[in-house]
Chains A and B, each alone.
Chain A
Amino acid sequence: MALLEVKQLTKRFGGLVAVNQMNFEVAQGEIVGLIGPNGAGKTTVFNLISGILPATEGSIVLNNCELSRMPAHRRSLAGIGRTFQVVRPFEMTVLENVMVPALTRTKNTAKARKKAFQVLEMMGLDELAEAEPGNLTLAQRKRIEVARALATDPKLLLLDEVLAGLNPTEVAENLPLIRQVRDKGVTIIFIEHLMDAMMSVSERVLVMDQGSLISSGTPTEVTNDECVIKAYLGEEDPQC
């Protein structure tokens, strides 16, 4: 049974259709990549699933629970975790940043602190617990972003370009974390522009172009799909 079922998901901004009739499912324990050219609507899909934006039409079902009418914070409680493409740490220490989501699950500060430490250890951030995020590197701040989302104990984690802007060494360091998170039982959808990284980690890839889902399959299948090649390179193919 699918963990996440998205049906006929549509978002219109006035006349612009940013997401058009998307249908897809994600199974428990999968790592799914979401790719597409700039402006394809990938981040909008994340915003719709996490409730940052209301969907115009369509349904989003997580574990048989309909999310599409819920406000963002209730979706978080229902098991949706997300990171933002532009990192948005709160103006407080790294530990406190991770305690914020932990404190939505328990009112007990000591328990939340313990939980936050566990997540920071897992993300290799425990030594920076007392640092201010503003003083850290982008790679570290991206890890905080992931750590915060993980502290909500998500069933489904939406990672929005957590590798973008990092140098190759940092990418190599952060990449294994994605698998490590999945091995803890978290299902993952991630948006990424770094194709090598994407192809090595994802088990299945969804491809979007101009708001629509144009292809899905294993990384190899997708890269050989004519429609995908056309979307990226603009080659002529009347069938797409």
Chain B
Amino acid sequence: MTKNKLYIIGAFVFLVLLIIPLFYESTFVLHMYTLIFFYTALTAAWNIPAFGGQLSLGHASFFGIGAYTAAILYVNYGVSPWIGIVAAAAAAMVGGLVLSLPLIRLRGPFFTLASIAFAEVLRMIAIDWRSLTNGSVGINIPFKPSLMNLTFQSGMPFYYISLALAVGVVYLTYRIRSSALGFHLRAAASDDEAAKALGVNTTLTHFIALMWSSGITGVLGLFYVFYIYVLEPQTFFSLDLFSLQPALNGIIGGMGTVWGPVIGAILMTPLGEFLRFYLGTIQQGLNFVVYGLVLVLTVRFIPGGIVSLLTPMIKRKKAKKTANLPKETEVA
């Protein structure tokens, strides 16, 4: 019954989220929700390599590549962003490919460091390659509202688009985690050598995970640029906004779990906006101090993230149920 109860709660939350925009006039509230949904999707995509224990601090690379690809195609060549989705995903996956060539044998902290460097290099390229990217001035998406142009008069369509993205990406990560790929990622994270001895091609496994993650992140970059209309290297290849933020959300919520990114994004996005608004005006950078503090405390006291506080409760109930029926069990 627990499972059904969870489904009912989930369906209820989803329905509430569907009707929220009908009752709120405030664009700020809608914007806040939209950001939370974006970050949920972004963190969930970031989390796919994290199933295999690979911590990326360079996801801004894929986010930026996707955004630039779509924006350049749209502004310079008039290609609809809906078609641009394919190009954004493909370009970001090429980025993932480039990153994984040297990285495929670099594990743990070395992967993390190289991922940061990769994003920084791309930011430099975006600043310097003026003929293509218009340098640090960036690219403006012209305001021509239509569905084909993915440009809208109000914030409401993007509320639903980002909600759909969040639900879609989280569902996809759930499917990945309970598939052969997910099992192999978790095995590789736990003991790479033992996994290999059991027939798992751990290198290929990490690579496929990075491909999924980079492709999805590229598509999210596309939607985000059409949401905010302005594309500039400092924002889209930003270390703190799109590299550190999803990683923080993931670690605080629970890295390598399906629900960790959701919990992390829901808690940290409003906190981040709040801190930037209030503390950032008192003393620049003060918001990061609080952020750092939250991270340190989480890693020190709940290394498994917030989700690790919740799962024992659910598991205990499940264990009782499945004691007699082991074949009915599902992967959490």
Question: Which range contains the number of A residues in contact with the other chain?
Answer: 35 or more
| Contact A76 B198, beta carbon cutoff 8 Å | yes
Which residues of A in the span 96-112 have a Cβ within 8 Å of any Cβ on B? 96, 99-101, 103-107, 109, 112
CB-based closest 4 A-B pairs = A76-B199, A104-B199, A90-B190, A101-B198
Known contacts A88-B191, A100-B200, A106-B180; can you find 15 more A-B pairs with CB under 8 A?
A52-B196, A52-B197, A72-B196, A73-B196, A73-B198, A76-B197, A81-B198, A90-B190, A96-B183, A101-B200, A103-B183, A104-B184, A104-B199, A107-B179, A151-B198
| Contact A95 B326, beta carbon cutoff 8 Å | yes
| Contact B329 A95, beta carbon cutoff 8 Å | yes
Nearest B residue (CB) for A92: B186
| Contact A149 B196, beta carbon cutoff 8 Å | no
Q: Give the residues in chain B near A221, CB-CB below 8 Å.
A: none
Nearest B residue (CB) for A128: B326
Q: Give the residues in chain B near A91, CB-CB below 8 Å.
A: 186, 189-190
Nearest A residue (CB) for B201: A73
* Minimal beta-carbon separation of A189 from chain B (angstroms): 15
Which residues of B in the span 296-332 have a Cβ within 8 Å of any Cβ on A? 319, 322-323, 326-327, 329, 331
Say whether A82 faces chain B, with CB atoms less than 8 Å apart. yes
| Contact A130 B184, beta carbon cutoff 8 Å | no
* Minimal beta-carbon separation of A4 from chain B (angstroms): 16
Q: Contacts A84-B194, A90-B194, A129-B326: A105 and B199 contacting too (C-beta < 8 A)?
A: yes
Say whether A143 faces chain B, with CB atoms less than 8 Å apart. no
Q: How many residue pairs bridge A and B at CB < 8 Å? A: 90
Main SS at interface, chain B: helix
| Contact B199 A101, beta carbon cutoff 8 Å | yes
Can you list 22 A-B contacts (CB < 8 A)?
Answer: A50-B197, A52-B197, A71-B196, A73-B199, A76-B199, A90-B186, A90-B190, A91-B190, A95-B326, A95-B329, A96-B183, A96-B331, A101-B198, A103-B183, A103-B184, A104-B199, A104-B200, A105-B199, A107-B180, A109-B178, A109-B179, A130-B322
* Minimal beta-carbon separation of B199 from chain A (angstroms): 3
Say whether A190 faces chain B, with CB atoms less than 8 Å apart. no
Which residues of B in the span 194-224 have a Cβ within 8 Å of any Cβ on A? 194-202
| Contact B198 A104, beta carbon cutoff 8 Å | yes
| Contact A130 B198, beta carbon cutoff 8 Å | no
Q: Give the residues in chain A near B262, CB-CB below 8 Å.
A: none
| Contact B326 A126, beta carbon cutoff 8 Å | yes
Say whether B193 faces chain A, with CB atoms less than 8 Å apart. yes
* Minimal beta-carbon separation of A186 from chain B (angstroms): 15
* Minimal beta-carbon separation of B118 from chain A (angstroms): 26
